Amino acid sequence: MSRVPSALLFAATSFVFCSCGMIKSIIPKSMPKLPKIGMPSLPSRNTVAKLVPGMAERDKEGAEDPDVPFTSRGTLGFGHTIRLEVYEGTRSPERIYRGIVMVTTDGTLPLGKVGTARVGGLHLPKAAEAIATVFRLAGRNTREITVQIISVENTPVISLNGDVMEAEFIPVFKAMSVQQAVTVTGGRKAGSTSRAVYTSRHGQRHFFTSLESANKNWKPQAGDIITLSPDI
């Protein structure tokens, strides 16, 4: 091998070793460890229910109770499970029924010794009326009957009726306001000059002179009934 190639080879090798030494001096001996990022865990259905006031556990009548799709503006059918309370009277209301019941294959809702309500194919406002009728026919006809549907298929709901465009049930969420609930239903009827609002919880009725007052002093929760007065 001639001297010229040997010199070139020696120079190239020296450059490589020098470069490695420079790189080692730049890179720190110990790199800081990156923190481990934990994956967020999804809350269980029971936990989600507890976030909404008025809800505690899942709506299940038993092991054979199926999970059935439900929307608050849809109709009831077989397998829909309803959590409800029924009260008699408004000044000193008495709870006369409380339960979690499922719509049967023939579209009826068993209400214990009181009887059955035919709710299959009905929207929730009409279903609530049908349930109230069963209690009246059973002899509870001297005082007002209030049916408070708390949830259907673990979907917490509230009822809006009275001086509204259309009576309906809507899903309720944490921190919902009375104003938001009324807005969802489209507000009062066209041309209405009434202002008063009633709310019902556990059969007890509360009065507010205006929607603004109700919005400020009442926090809706599952099972509530909001009634816009048609004449005050």
Give the rounded percent of residues in the chain with a pLDDT score beyond 90. Answer: 68
Nearest to 223 by CA among 161, 162, 149: 149
Distance CA 21, CA 212 (A): 76
User: How large is the C-alpha radius of gyration of the chain?
Assistant: 33
Tell me: the pLDDT tens digits for 130-186?
999 999 999 988 899 999 999 999 999 999 999 999 999 999 998 999 999 999 999
> Where does residue 149 rank: exposed (0-12), middle (13-18), buried (19+ CB within 10 A)?
buried
In percent, the amount of the chain with pLDDT more than 70 equals: 74
Beta strand ranges found along 14-104 (DSSP E): 81-88, 94-102
Classify residue 145: in a domain, yes or no.
Answer: yes
User: Is residue 18 assigned to a domain?
Assistant: no
Q: Is 118 within 8 Å of 107 (Cβ atoms)? A: yes
- Please give the model's pTM, rounded to 2 decimal places: 0.74
The answer to whether residue 223 scores a pLDDT higher than 90 is yes
Residue 37, in any domain of the structure: no
CA–CA dist 28, 18 (Å, integer): 17
Is residue 165 domain-resident? yes
Instruction: Please count the other Cβ atoms lying within 10 Å of the Cβ belonging to residue 226.
Output: 24
Considering the domain boundaries, does residue 82 fall inside one?
yes
> Which residue range(s) make up the domain with 206?
45-228
Most distant pair of Cα atoms in the chain: their distance: 122
pLDDT tens digits, one per residue of 51-109 = 455 555 677 766 678 999 999 999 999 999 999 999 999 889 999 999 999 999 999 99
Number of separate domains in the chain: 1
The encoded tokens of residue 79 equal 């397998």
The answer as to whether 102 is a domain residue is yes
Is 5 part of a structural domain of the chain? no
The mean pLDDT of 191-201, rounded to a whole number, is: 96
For residue 39, being part of any structural domain is answered with no
